[in-house]
Amino acid sequence: MRKYALHAGLLAVTLLAGFSIGHLRAFGQASDSADPIFGTWKMDQTKSVNNRGGDHAAYPTQHMRILAPESGGLRNTLVNSPASSPVYSYSGKFDGKDHPDPRFPDKDQTLAHWRLAPDLIVRLQKTNGKPSEWVIYTVSSDGKVFTSISWVPTNPELQDLEVFTRAK
């Protein structure tokens, strides 16, 4: 009997999650683009906060992030300033599986990506097989503002918030 109750509970949670994502996509997505999260994004330093150290610091440079669709996933490129070379550029699949982190080939580090909606991507970084960073990428319903919220599992209250506007 418990087995059926467990399966019924999981089914209810799954249906609720599916409905919630569908509802959010239908009512929260006003952008004309089918892929509103992709593009070139310029950091708004006045709204972004580097809080990983708990000090609510400003970001010293105006980052640019470029997200582009690539082979069932994305290409994620980070540039520290509009005139500099990329800090990193890697490809990730939206399959939720751990893949070696190309940013740090000498570490036992992996990345997993999920695209839960056209305006929502989640990334999990693991180091030595244990979660070491969560990141949530979202874009506003009008497609003009992109946010990245990241934290380490050991201190989830210390979140970095990066706010970007679409570069022209």
Mark whether 117 and 37 lie in a shared domain.
yes
User: Does residue 26 carry a pLDDT above 80?
Assistant: no
pLDDT tens digits, residue range 32-77? 457 999 999 999 999 999 998 898 999 988 899 999 999 999 999 9
Mark whether 44 and 75 lie in a shared domain.
yes
C-alpha–C-alpha distance, residues 15 and 25, integer Å: 15
Mark whether 150 and 121 lie in a shared domain.
yes
User: Does residue 10 carry a pLDDT above 80?
Assistant: no
Domain of 24?
1-30
Mark whether 17 and 82 lie in a shared domain.
no
As given in the structure block, the two tokens for residue 100 are 């070696």
Mark whether 13 and 96 lie in a shared domain.
no
What is the 8-class DSSP label of residue 49? B
Mark whether 57 and 126 lie in a shared domain.
yes
Q: Specify the pTM.
A: 0.78
How many distinct structural domains can be found in the chain?
2
Mark whether 71 and 132 lie in a shared domain.
yes
Split at pLDDT 50, 70, 90, the class of 2 is very low
Mark whether 142 and 68 lie in a shared domain.
yes
Mark whether 22 and 61 lie in a shared domain.
no
Mark whether 100 and 139 lie in a shared domain.
yes
**Which pLDDT value is given to residue 148?**
97
pLDDT tens digits, residue range 110-150? 999 999 999 999 999 999 999 999 999 999 999 999 999 99
Contacts of residue 85, defined as CB under 8 A and 6 or more positions apart, other chains included, come to 79
